[in-house]
Amino acid sequence: MPNPFSVTTDSEDDFAVIRLDGAVDAHTAPEFEEAVQKVIDDGQNNIVVDCAKLTYISSAGLGVFMGFVEEVRDAGGDIKICGLSEKVKQPFEILGFETLFHFCPDVEQAKEKFGEPTDWEAAY
Amino acid sequence: METVERKFTLQVPSSTENLALIREFVSSAATQAGFDEKEVAKLELAVDEACANVIEHAYGHDVNKEVIVRARLDEQEFSIDIEDTGKGFVPADVNQEELEQLISKRKTGGLGMRLMKTLMDEVRYEIEPGKKNALHMSKRLKKTDNG
């Protein structure tokens, strides 16, 4: 049974855009995790995760966002999430991600969110 | 009125590679039961989380083990039973801290169980360490028309 998934990264001067295509589950989440780790290792802490082509995500994928977000915020950056369909957004909503992450319609609007004040610090 | 019950069983090697196949199985059965797309997505996710826990925690990624998923449909509900003979656990001990605390402690454990409990109407474990661990989950079928 194929589990089509790919992750690609576009690095720009001020941002890295990680694009998820397909299903992120316990099998494919390590690839997503590696991509985020590489971006951070390369010194970029302003990260946009483009979910426009994401068809499914389980807690293994959600855990990747949670595992890195504090590290990038401590370094002055953030992880913005964009392009989620209503169907794929369900697990994010159930776990309360909207109180701790910015959700944006697309990559351009996600980029504009960097630099805006947040109240994440008060949350944890 | 006589209740028509249908049963489906999927047995696959204990590998995360098979989670996509498990979701496909659940999706087909739930669609046949009459759930709409959004409800089918919830069932897929709940079963995926349960099976991922079995593959990773109960069997420690041992592909020589097998994950058995049994689905049962009738007019009222869709129920799923997942059995394993791996390492058991105490459900009450699973981390249920708030998201903020988990992030702060850089932990992600317990998210799967939280999702399952939210997505399904019933989630029940029967743990017999070393013998058999069983997870029973069910979701009632909402009638949207004359039913």
Q: pLDDT digit of tens for each residue in chain B (147 aa)?
A: 566 789 999 999 999 999 999 999 999 999 988 899 999 999 999 999 999 999 998 898 899 999 999 999 988 899 999 999 888 777 777 767 777 777 776 666 788 999 999 999 999 999 887 788 999 999 998 755 543
Q: And the tokens for A52? A: 């426009």
Q: Does B105 fall in a domain?
A: yes
pLDDT of residue B146: 43
Closest CA to A84 of A56, A43, A47: A56
**Number of domains, chain A:** 1
The CATH number that applies at residue A18 is: 3.30.750.24
Nearest to A78 by CA among A16, A10, A6, A11: A16
Q: Using CB atoms, pick whichever of A3, A62, A69 lies closest to residue B17.
A: A3
Query: Which of B37, B67, B111, B114 should be substituted to probe chain A, the one whose Cβ sees the most A Cβ atoms within 10 Å?
Result: B111
Q: Is there a domain that residue A66 lies in?
A: yes
Give the torsion sign (CA, B82, B84, B89, B95).
negative
B147 within domain boundaries:
no
Q: Is position A119 within any domain?
A: no
Asked if B114's CB is within 8 angstroms of A95's CB, the reply is yes
Q: How many CB atoms neighbour CB A34 within 10 A? A: 12
Assess if residue B125 is contained within a domain. yes
User: A115 in a domain, yes or no?
Assistant: no
Domain containing B38 equals 6-140
Q: Is residue B146 part of a domain?
A: no
Domain count, chain B: 1
Mean of pLDDT over chain A: 92
Query: What confidence score (pLDDT) does residue A120 get?
Result: 62
Q: Looking at residue B27, which CATH number applies to its domain?
A: 3.30.565.10
Domain-located, residue A84: yes
Test A90 with B42 for CB contact under 8 angstroms. yes
Report d(CA A123, CA B126) in Å as an integer: 36
A25–B17 CB contact, under 8 Å: no
Judged by CB atoms within 8 Å, which residues 4-43 of B form the interface with A?
15-21, 23-24, 37-38, 41-42
Q: Round to whole Å and give the CA distance between B139 and A69.
A: 34
Task: Tell me what pLDDT residue B144 has.
Answer: 56
Nearest to A58 among B45, B98, B99 (CB): B45
Closest partner residue to B48 (CB to CB) among A25, A62, A69 is A25
Residue-level pLDDT, tens digit, chain A, 124 residues: 556 899 999 998 899 999 999 999 999 999 999 999 999 999 999 999 999 999 999 999 999 999 999 999 999 999 999 999 998 999 999 999 998 999 999 999 999 998 777 766 555 5
Helices and strands (H and E) in chain A: how many: 5, 5
Q: Which domain covers residue A15, as residue numbers?
A: 5-109
Residue B33 domain-assigned (yes or no):
yes
